[in-house]
Amino acid sequence: MSELNLILLGPPGAGKGTQAERLRADFELPYYATGDILRAAVKADTDLGREAREYMDRGDLVPDELICKVVIDRVDSDEARDGFVLDGFPRTVGQAEELHRALEGLERQLTATLLIDAPDEEVIRRLSGRRVCLDSGHTYHVEFDPPKNDGFCDQDGSALVQRDDDKLETVRHRLEVFHQQTKPLVELYEREGLLRRFDGTRSPEEVNGHIRATLATLRLEEQI
């Protein structure tokens, strides 16, 4: 297996970001999150970036076709020649099909889609308990990592707040959107034999170990 071309799926709060960082470190893979790619393209003032900016400046959603172009532009780069990790893309079956066609055109293919899953109640518990320092952005959790003085940052004494994204109703809505968007993708990649599931309620070390073992197995299977 000369490449590791990976997609990360999972609800907010399941630990995708943590595992993405470990994949980058373990396998020296570039990590591409859709929002970051779009912002970088706009900042670099590329042709695709200028086209994306027109939609973003109007407050419109960037069309699937353009998002796919921006992502494929990164995937078809020197830094991604040995593989990549995609997060936040694809979000729809249409995007997944476009990615498949583009990779075929590059004579490449996906290695696996890694689904880091966690029950809704666990996601709500993790996200709704987060508190952030107003001044410096230090993060705490009322249950897992509480500050020494309730409501105040240990490091600079400033007030801790709950971000709007972490409020209970917002988290529930984010989960609803995630399930609506992701269920068809999960079914698609399961049919194609690309989906691998991981228990996001386990420790980050355990999840990372499971992912590494899974990828090692895929490499062995290719050699048989």
Q: How many CB atoms are located within 10 Å of the residue 48 CB?
A: 19
What is the end-to-end Cα distance of the chain in Å, rounded? 11
91 is catalytic: yes
Among the options 69, 130, 131, 196, which is catalytic?
130
Q: Which residues pair with 112 in a beta bridge?
A: 6
Among the options 163, 167, 183, 219, which is catalytic?
163
Distance CA 125, CA 123 (A): 5
If DSSP codes are grouped into helix, strand and coil, which group holds residue 197?
Answer: strand
Distance CA 24, CA 30 (A): 6
16 is catalytic: yes
Cβ atoms of 34 and 89 closer than 8 Å: yes
Among the options 16, 69, 74, 126, which is catalytic?
16
In degrees and rounded to multiples of 5, residue 7 shows phi and psi of -115, 135
Distance CA 131, CA 83 (A): 35
The burial of 142, by beta-carbon neighbours within 10 Å (0-12 exposed, 13-18 middle, 19 or more buried), is given as: middle
Among the options 22, 108, 126, 174, which is catalytic?
174
Distance CA 184, CA 113 (A): 13
Question: Distance of alpha carbon 150 from its chain centroid, rounded?
Answer: 31
Cα distances (angstroms) measured from residue 97 to each of 7, 94, 153, 174: 13, 5, 46, 24
Among the options 91, 125, 202, 212, which is catalytic?
91
* Active site residues per annotation: 16, 91, 130, 163, 174
